[in-house]
Structure 1
Amino acid sequence: MDILQKSKNNQRRIGLTGGIASGKSTITSYIRKNKNIPILDADHLSRELIKPNTYGYKKICDYFGNKIIDNNNNSKREINRKLLRNIIFKHSKSKEWIEKLLHPLIKEKMIEECNQYKNNQTLILVIPLLFEAKFEDICTEIWLVKCPTELQKKRLIKRDKISEKEACELIDFQLSFEEKRKFSDIILDNSDDQTKWINIIKELL
């Protein structure tokens, strides 16, 4: 029995995804506060996998050189994640290389964590790039956060302190909501009234 099949046995694994600044963190916070369900976060795993002295860190530094090190925190020699994101956004070759390096590592780590919680009936897997990274096979169902593009854009500008143009580019960089909707089981509408998705979560969890 392989590690993937082992992680699926008798376990409900809900993949929570959605566009950038759509409200995944808000929904995750609600679940964490109100439900006794382990939450595994792909972004957290990604950060862990590129910390100094890790395999991912060494590969990225070898590929990009010292320019990828955060000069504002040079004593720790951490990777500048904002610069890395900008490189990925602007250079398709670098984006492809990073994805080939990190996506399998994140997936493997997430499967390992699923197995650590093998006695839990339900897990929440927060995976922003669930479809883009092809993580569907480790989920038993997929919940997609819905948010109007204008609201998404405003949140992104405020959160990341970027221009409207940059916000639009980041949103357009990901798969559209309509594309993701085709492969999702549940839609959590985070447009304006939070009671909509709270009621769904109460019903399903």
Structure 2
Amino acid sequence: MVKSGINFGETFSANPNIKFRWKSPQDTVPDDAYIIVLFDMSGSMQCSTDLNRKGNCNKVPKGQRKYDAAIDTLKNFVEEAKTWKGKTQVSIVPFGNRVKTGNCNFSEPFVNVSPDNLNDFQNVESTELTKFLNTDLSNKTPCTATNIYESLYKSVEFLTNDSDERFYPVNREGEPTDNQPRLSIILFTDGFYTDTFNKDETIARGKQQQQIDKIATLLKKNP
């Protein structure tokens, strides 16, 4: 049975056992979004975006480094996110390990993928987020070793905490609400990974696979 002259918001159905509630696209409110951006602070990010360029990466001028290209891309992403409807929260988390005194112009806490750093969500319209991109991050020199999988694991673990009602809101009955927020992790890295380095490539690959399997297991527990 077809009913003409639909009033959006009205509930009806040809089958009395199945109810539909029509909603106008104009009335639809996009789900909130929580996005963790992991940003690689390893020394190789100082290298040139020109992969054919030879020589010491430390001598690549600012503006020509992978690091600068990644920051520009992240700025463009934030500008795009400002056009989205709904509330979009972003937490930018620099990551790396084995910070060397004298080579780095920041200390270990800056690249610590801790609950506090992961939880530093800012609205995409926030002036604090703009300041972090334009000053705090842009003025740093990438210099660490790389711990991609450990950082990913901690981020996934943080977002899959189903007791956090920001990420998994429930109604009065304790059931999940209809509008669950979108949860995302974006990884900015050039892919050079040092934490599982081994001269024997088979051993190195095996260690990497173990860490990937840990992340996959965590995701399966909370898809």
TM-score of the superposed pair, with normalisation by structure 2: 0.28
Which protein shows a greater Rg?
2
TM-score of the superposed pair, with normalisation by structure 1: 0.29
